[in-house]
Structure 1
Amino acid sequence: MVEFVREADFVALGGTVLTLDAAGRRVRALAASGGRITALGSERDISRLIGPETTVLDLAERTVIPGFVESHNHPAFFGMTLAAPVDAGSPPNDTIADIGGRVAQAAKELGPGEWIRGFRYDDTLLADGRHPTRADLDPVSGRNPVVLTHVSGHFCTANSLALREVGITAETPDPPGGLIVRDARGEPTGVLVETAAFLVTSRLPGQSADELANALLLADEEYLANGVTSVHDTGIGLIGGAAELEAYALLRRAGKLRVRVRGYLFDGLLPGLDEGHPEPPEASADDKFAMTGVKIVADGSIQGKTGCLAEGYTCAPDEHGMMLLESADLGRRIAALDAAGWQVAVHGNGDAAIDAIIDGYSRLGSPRGTGRRHRIEHCQTVREDQLDRMAAHDVLASFFIKHVYYWGDRHRDVFLGPERARRISPLVSARSRGIHFGLHSDTPVTPVPPLEGIWCAVRRITRQGKVLGPEQAVDVDAALRGYTIDAAYLAGEEDVKGSLEIGKLADLAVLSGDPTAVDPDRIRELTVDATVSGGEIVWRRETTGARR
């Protein structure tokens, strides 16, 4: 396991190194040069590679794992929430009036006419049990246009001034795949659903390439603090349009992008993209950013009752959610992108939407020998028969595992009922069929920490402390792989990252303890003490020792 070189650039030793290779090997130390792992072995062997210019990380009996690979996130959107003047989430807000107070405070601090952005409101956690409307926002917003974005990202609500600024009136038609909610007189209430919300958020000011680059840097820091070294940005352009691409270009030219990003363009971003043009560009030489695929949104969210279900919602049996695209159109787009060489990632929460997605993939023929790795994102309510079809057509999945904790109780008691709810994110069923899957947090929808996601996959405990579908709980090794090597597989990168092996990128996270050895209930209590990218320590707690 040791491949001797004269002197290593980086050495980590004095702890447990979980390689997560196929054999599940554990060693005590590793070395890297030129950004790649060059040696794995005992402390004695690796110490011989230390020279005067070697950066030495003393693990002090901590545990090293591969850097986490987040297989579905929205970095620009996340950074915007970190910088927003209004936190509309619950907690800290219990009522719409609480959110209104934060809007009023922002209006006092900002000049008249400046836009007020807020994020993370959740109608299902507010005591009012509904979305805020322009009637709630107008009295507290002064002369400032206001837009609040739902925690799911599938809704927003705007005050009257914001609606006027973006040109939404009673005469504005609902866009395809979206809804402008109206009152009894036909006037917009301010609540905008699915593509109607996207229509508004894409037109907002404050989303220049420079501003989005600053948002990406805020997200970058949070990822590194949580041991995330690679992120799949699944929907570039969904929030900021083409300026998001320019923001990435600015950071790459300045050498400021530290987390490796694999980009999936929102399918409406570039002219002709949903027709399969242009063809995918070559991967970037610096390996910090590469365009990997295209993201399509097929339906909405379960908590917003817009996820498209075969059977009605428990709380509203006559409602089945909505498809944002007709099945034939979805299939056409999948086929065009596949023919052009793009990897396709389709958002599908409801099982009816998942049926349409699998139908689209199944018409492409066998993927064997083609290198094709198309995906279903979230895949929340996928049924057993659908998993059979996914396995038959080698369709991959990125499961939104944190739904179990953050929405499991409401899925069980409100939206899906106990039987469907216990099967959300059915990892054991997928694993038993050999389906490759990654796990994700969909940040900013839920918090970043992968350790929390691993805990969710292993324990399946809800916010109320109830176990939801224990038969779908996987072991710690499988959960770790869902955030490392298996997540890397989803982007075709398992040969360069996701496990600690000679020749692979020296991307790693240093944990305060061994997640395979602690009580499973304590996994999310572990901390990330350092993050290493390409053999360089890019983030660390002050107590983590490193010397040169």
Structure 2
Amino acid sequence: MQGYRDDHLHLLACAAARRSVDVRAATSIADLLSMIGEAVQGRTAAADRDAWLRAWGYDDALLAERRHPTAAELDAVTRDVPTVLHHVTGHVAVVNTAAGHALGLTSGDVLVERQDLLAAVPRDDRSATVAGVTEVLADLVAAGITACTDATHTNDIGALELLAEAAAEVPSVKVTAMVGADRLDSLEDLDFGETVLSSGGAADAGAVRVGHAKVMPPHDDDSAIADLVAAARAHRFPVAVHVMDIDTLQATLDALEAHPPPPAGTATSEARRPMPDRTVPDRIEHCALALPEQLDRIARLGVAVVTQPSFVTRRAQKYREQLSPTEQAWLWPLASLLRRGIRVTLSSDAPTVPPDPAEWIEAATGRDIAPAERIDAETARRLCMEAGADR
């Protein structure tokens, strides 16, 4: 039986979320601080009392105060325990003063897209991380998912090798992993579509397929998109661009037009083999907000869209409060993409949303915001099936 495919998730982040204090149920900052304070008080072993604390899952838009907690508020319940509180999206974190000092900040702070700093937070050892990813892959199997694409922009060859080690334990899930567009040199001679094997693995077990070059625009700086696309083209990679708003989509489409993929059968350097005859489309990840004329450009460029319909239902309150009726009509397009002949796949963006195809289908067929973008259940199910947007 053909399985489902989650075409956009983050396996290492899913594993980390499983090992974090889960604060998704918090409806206010008081709730949030209570959960974190209980976790600090619950540490009994001396070694644990001084270890870093990682919490995950809050959404400022869904808290009663409609804001992020402050470092001072975290300090009140964590004291000297270095604490990192991750937003449910993974793109924002709040650190207390102790963690801020350890990371080289003058105080705790709200960090937006600061992976350069957060990379210094102590992590589990490799064996524990592999075990965590293995558990995540087993959960995918339980949900009927037999293939997935890891869309993490910080992936390099080391991350792919780690994922391959976990994939060897759950061979029933086919794993593709993107590589950061700024980290393609780490692959050395590996090309798009080739495989990274686990240590001692066979070609049919523990293999991770090399996916698109992931382009994550720096925070509030869409001008970098063109350079990242150009870097990916120099390595002969198709790109997958993170797009959440109209301005970023505009810059992405301009960059894709300025830097088209090389024709099949050509090579960009002597060190690389010719491009395969089969052309793989570039991808737009999310496409959360788009003007009709931008959708027309996506169709003309032959770009695929990998989207997450669950966001429409899970964040309905935020969208109704923060977006105008006109903007809501352009939110998370789906039917409009299909009418233009654009290739679409559905996904979760886990751990932000659970990897549950039944939820994606329900959201795609019954959304209240922009109901004109609803699709029928049969079509939604087909968009969840195993043939991904990187094939």
Q: Do residues 457 (structure 1) and 364 (structure 2) align?
A: yes
Deviation of 1:208 after TM superposition, in Å, equals 3.1
Residue among 204, 208, 232 paired with 2:149: 232
Contact 1:237–1:243 (Cα < 8 Å) also in 2: no
2:349 aligned partner = 442
Deviation of 1:350 after TM superposition, in Å, equals 0.4
Structure 2 counterparts to residues 279-318 of structure 1, below 5 A = 279-280=191-192, 282-283=194-195, 285-286=203-204, 288-298=207-217
2:110 aligned partner = 191
The structure whose Rg is larger is: 1
Deviation of 1:348 after TM superposition, in Å, equals 0.5
Give the partner amino acid of 2:385: T
Residue among 115, 118, 126 paired with 1:209: 126
2:14 aligned partner = 78
1:69 aligned partner = 5
Higher strand share: 1
Distance 2:342 2:352 in 1: 25
Residue among 300, 304, 308 paired with 1:400: 308
Distance 1:243 1:98 in 2: 38
Quick one: structure 1 residues 260 and 403, their matched pair in 2 at CA, closer, same or farther if it must change by over 3 Å?
same
Q: Do residues 100 (structure 1) and 33 (structure 2) align?
A: yes
Q: Do residues 251 (structure 1) and 166 (structure 2) align?
A: yes
State the number of aligned residues: 367
Q: Do residues 468 (structure 1) and 369 (structure 2) align?
A: yes
Deviation of 1:394 after TM superposition, in Å, equals 0.5
Contact 1:299–1:347 (Cα < 8 Å) also in 2: no
Residue among 99, 102, 108 paired with 1:165: 102
Deviation of 1:164 after TM superposition, in Å, equals 1.0
For each residue in 1:133-188, what CA deviation from the matched residue of structure 2 results, as whole angstroms up to 9, or x when unmatched? 2101112113311001001111100111101111112xxxxxxxxxxxxxxxxxx4
For each residue in 1:372-425, what CA deviation from the matched residue of structure 2 results, as whole angstroms up to 9, or x when unmatched? 3100000110211111111111011101211110112321322x2122113222
Structure 2 counterparts to residues 149-548 of structure 1, below 5 A = 149-169=86-106, 188-194=107-113, 196=114, 198-235=115-152, 237=154, 244-252=159-167, 255-269=169-183, 279-280=191-192, 282-283=194-195, 285-286=203-204, 288-298=207-217, 322-323=220-221, 325-326=222-223, 329-365=224-260, 371-414=279-322, 416-460=323-367, 467-485=368-386, 488-492=387-391
Deviation of 1:444 after TM superposition, in Å, equals 0.9
2:199 aligned partner = none
Give structure 2 stretches of 5+ with no counterpart. 197-202, 265-276
Give structure 1 stretches of 5+ with no counterpart. 1-64, 170-187, 301-321, 461-466, 493-548
Give the partner amino acid of 1:87: D
Query: SS in structure 2 opposite 1:359?
Result: helix
Give the partner amino acid of 2:365: V
Deviation of 1:449 after TM superposition, in Å, equals 0.9
TM-score normalised by the chain length of structure 2: 0.86
Higher helix share: 2
Query: SS in structure 2 opposite 1:413?
Result: helix
Overall identity of the aligned pairs, in %? 28
1:48 aligned partner = none
Contact 2:305–2:345 (Cα < 8 Å) also in 1: yes
Distance 1:191 1:164 in 2: 13
Deviation of 1:257 after TM superposition, in Å, equals 4.8
Query: SS in structure 2 opposite 1:66?
Result: coil
Distance 2:260 2:193 in 1: 24
Query: SS in structure 2 opposite 1:251?
Result: helix
